[in-house]
Amino acid sequence: MTALKAYQVDQFLRDKSRKSGSFLVYGSDLGLVHERAMLLCNGANPNGQHVVTNASEITVLEMDEIQANPEKLAVEILTPSLFGDSPIIRIRNGNKYLAPILEELFQNQFDALIVIEAANLTKRDKLRVFIEESRRGWALPCFADDAKSLHILIEHFFEEETISISKEAHSYLCSILGNDREITRRELEKLANFASDSKTLNLDDIVTLCGDNSTIALDRLLDAMGLGNANELEISLDKAYNSGLDSQVILLMSARHFNMLRTLRTKVDTGSSANAAMASYYPKPHFTRTKFVEKQVSMWKEQSIANAAKRLFDAILLTRQQTALSQTITRRTLLGICLAASKY
């Protein structure tokens, strides 16, 4: 029985070169599933460097093909490779219906490398149970990177590319990546290509190249309004609309922003510092906004925040009643609040 823990998988892939056996690579991070499946297909030499095999030596089968014609898998596994090596079979989208097919095949002697890619499987899933209990099988779980593994991945990637990345840029990358290894790899490769000449990356580079444009525009919009920066507000409003945000979303998020300011201001008025109030607030704004939000908490007083919130809720109602004028109403409302902030 060979059921690896998630933290053991990377070491398992580095330790040995495997030419045969059955490997179930499964989990919620499908990008990582794909990456590890290809590492197994391509093989690994003793020092841990992966060697790419001729693509023609890897036979790729979809689960739908196998279910429609189970004998197809048997033919591929039992037929010797034209190049004299063990056959390499990669099965995509494996599921429980593969278990009985493999069980029958495993009654025969064969020398093949079988790599099965699958989504997240429960402990009772027939395919997972079969592989884990087989003497010829290994199950490799693949889950989204945690903070530690993502930090190491980013650090090692840029070290290999001889690119220097600032601490702020590294932290921001860790906050926006990690849900899917393939997406993470693509974003890192994009950054490496961008910095191929300068060999440096800073926070602005990361925000520009990898950030969610609508989220960034909205954050900048909220802070520009709250700090009284009319020019920045106009620019951010244009970007927000161009990225697909509508007036209702902008107004609702603005109202939520002032609700946050009211909560923080109440804590300040009862003796807390702006920094301490921020530290205890949940959900916290992104760390790149901390100094801007703290300044707004210091600027805005309780009654002024209440007045701004009322203007926003009135605008929300008015844009629902007059949808054709929603952008005009939104711009007028936010600019009015912004101009009020500029007087503080």
Quick one: pLDDT at residue 81? Answer: 61
Residue with tokens 């429980």: 96
- Give buried/exposed letters for 275-302 (b at 16+ CB in 10 A, else e): eebbeeeeeebeebbeebbbebbebbee
Q: Determine the Cα–Cα distance for residues 343 and 317; give it in Å rounded to an integer.
A: 27
Average pLDDT value for residue range 311-325? 93
CATH architecture for residues 147-210 = Orthogonal Bundle (1.10)
More confident residue, 141 or 107: 141
The tokens of 196 are what? 């191929």
Domain 213-341 maps to which CATH number in 3.90.79.10, 2.60.120.10, 1.10.10.60, 1.20.272.10?
1.20.272.10
Question: Which amino acid is present at 193?
Answer: N
Fold equal for 6-141 and 147-210 = no
pLDDT above 70 covers what percent of the chain? Answer: 91
Tell me the pLDDT tens digit for each residue of 30-82: 889 999 999 888 873 333 333 334 444 788 999 999 999 988 998 888 776 66
**Residue 330 clears pLDDT 50, i.e. is over it:** yes
- For 6-141, CATH gives 3.40.50.300
Nearest to 250 by CA among 337, 334, 336: 334
More confident residue, 97 or 179: 97
Domain boundaries, the chain: 6-141, 147-210, 213-341
pLDDT band at 1 (very low <50, low <70, confident <90, very high): low
Q: Is this structure's pTM higher than 0.75?
A: no
CA 229 to chain centre: 32
Tell me the pLDDT tens digit for each residue of 12-44: 888 666 667 899 999 988 889 999 999 888 873
